[in-house]
Amino acid sequence: MDHQEMYQKLVSRLSERTIVKQQEGLEGIVKKIPDSDAEGELDPRVFQIRSEQAIMHQSVKGENAIEQIDLENQEFPLEEFRAMMGWKNKDLTRTNIQTTYRTISGSNGLISLRIYRPETRANESVPAILFYHGGGFIGGSVDTVENPCKALAEKAGAVVISVDYRLAPEHPFPSGLMDCYDTVQWVHQHAQEIQVNPSQIAVCGDSAGGNLATVCAMMDRDAGAGIIKYQALIYPTVNMGKIETDDFRWDIEHYQISNHRDLIRSAIGEIGQSGEWLEKLYLQSKTEVTNPHVSPLIADDLSGMPETLIITAEFDYLRLECEAYARKLSRSGVRTKLIQYNGMDHAFIDKLGIYPQAEDCMGEIALEIKRRFS
């Protein structure tokens, strides 16, 4: 069996190796490692990449380690960190996905978009999915998520609009958020032009992009617009201040770690350690971290939010706050589904075509979009 055949077998097995849990009205699904029955350890592909990275970091004596950054240093290595974000991934589409580049006018300037359209019948209106890339509000790009967006467009039969929102620290909160929200309104207003159904609009994003997606849904709800009908959040950051609530307290003991202990603790820790400097660069002391548009988990009221899918990685620092957000949405009367990928670390969709879980994740979102808008 060659590498591609093995990869496809692993993708197929992910749909079989699942555990379904119902708790407090919340549907939770755990997807086990496709080729291992081990519990509490990294997926073999994550283990390989993490091991290689650990050796590389040791060879440069950790000069790029997050924990060595001086928050008061005026020469913060921003471009260096931006260059480290993302991963070269693969285009898995089997059909023609038309890509259109557009620039639209937002409330604070021009916004660049990439619009991915699958093969459809002439003049057919299909659902629209606005996608917001991750990168801690300071980095990431539409380039990194191009292949995931194309895969999602093909699998969901939907038009995917990837938003090149402005980044901090050059453009602190709420600049990027407003770009994202302005694009929601633009898609709704120009639905006929881009051949999408104005009553079938969803938002999606990974990490910081997941934050932007759900905050856009909150803003849409509060405005009474009712444009956003579904949100798919991939390991979103929803509590930037790590503020304890009745339902959330971060503790490493919530993670089952049976093997690969050092690598797992490193994977979890690097995201946790980034919080302080991301907050500094994104908010710049002009906004409280408790603002629901920064930390939606802290919002007093989540009722009226759109139906939700939340995707998590087992060994991600953000997993616990994502689970708390799913529970709070569910208690607020929002139909919510939670999927956890065992053995995965943060930002796994960046490795589309390398990690079978990344392709399966796009497939799960597509299935939910089709079900919601059928």
Query: For 8-54, what is each residue's pLDDT tens digit?
Result: 999 999 999 999 988 777 889 999 999 999 999 999 999 999 999 88
Query: 148: closest CA among 310, 318, 9, 353?
Result: 353
Rounded CA-CA distance 330/134 in Å is: 25
Neighbours of 223 (CB within 10 A): 11
Please give the tally of structural domains in the chain: 1
* DSSP 8-class letter at 341: E
User: DSSP secondary structure string, 166-178?
Assistant: --TTTSTTTHHHH
How large a percentage of the chain has pLDDT more than 70? 95
Mean pLDDT value across residues 199-225 = 98
What's the pLDDT band for 63 if we cut at 50, 70, 90?
A: very low
Residue 273 confidence (pLDDT): 85
Domain of 211, CATH number, reads 3.40.50.1820
Using alpha carbons only, what angle is made at residue 356 by residues 309 and 51, rounded to the nearest 5 degrees? Answer: 110
What's the pLDDT band for 74 if we cut at 50, 70, 90?
A: low
Mean pLDDT value across residues 167-184 = 98
Q: Both tokens of residue 228?
A: 């956003």
Q: Both tokens of residue 209?
A: 């992009």
Residue the block writes with tokens 């909160």: 173
Range of the domain at 237: 3-372
Of 79-83, 105-109, 147-151, 369-373, the poorest mean pLDDT is in: 79-83
Q: CB of 44 within 8 A of CB of 36?
A: yes
Residue 67 confidence (pLDDT): 47
Burial class (CB in 10 A: 0-12, 13-18, 19+), 154: buried
Q: What is the pLDDT of residues 326-372, one digit of tens each?
A: 999 999 999 999 999 999 999 999 999 999 999 999 999 999 999 99
Residue 123 confidence (pLDDT): 77
- Amino acid identity at 303: S
Residue 306 confidence (pLDDT): 98
Q: Considering the chain, what is the average pLDDT of its residues?
A: 93
Burial class (CB in 10 A: 0-12, 13-18, 19+), 363: middle
Q: What is the pLDDT of residues 230-248, one digit of tens each?
A: 999 999 999 998 999 988 9
